[in-house]
Amino acid sequence: MATRRRAYFMPDVAMDLDPAVQSALRELMQDDYPLLLDTFVQDGEKRLATLASSLQQQQWDAFRQAAHSFKGSCGNMGAEALQHACERAEQAGLQHDAELASQCYEEIRQLFQRVQLHLAR
């Protein structure tokens, strides 16, 4: 009797929120899981505000640092698409590219809203 192998593949588009990461965090954090989510959301709101103000003032080092920090938080939470957008924003800050930075900021803002909706479920 032949056994069937399940095919695994990488999706073309990054996930808003990786369920395996969320499951692992839920198991690890147990009763503190809701606190972790609240902290992530509050931190994300601060990072968005920093990204917006540093973009407006074209303070590229502050923009890059905020994007870098947010990227790490997103990676820890399994927010893959948001993590990738932050990585692009970090590069835009390094290049002092106002147009790209603005596009990245808007993408980050929208993705963060989507992640918050997933976390609220």
Is pLDDT above 60 for 8?
no
Residue 85 lies in a domain: yes
- Supply the pLDDT for residue 79: 96
Whole-number pLDDT of residue 120: 87
Count of the separate structural domains present in the chain: 1
Q: What is the pLDDT of residue 117?
A: 93
At CB < 8 A and 24+ separation, what contacts does 4-7 make?
none
Rounded-to-integer distance, Cα 12 and Cα 90, Å: 22
State the residue range of the domain holding 43: 34-119
Contacts of 1 (CB under 8 A, 6+ apart): none
Contacts of 8 (CB under 8 A, 6+ apart): none
CATH code, domain carrying 49: 1.20.120.290
**Mean pLDDT over the full length of the chain:** 91
Residue 60 has pLDDT above 50, yes or no: yes
Choose among 16, 34, 13: nearest CA to 25: 34
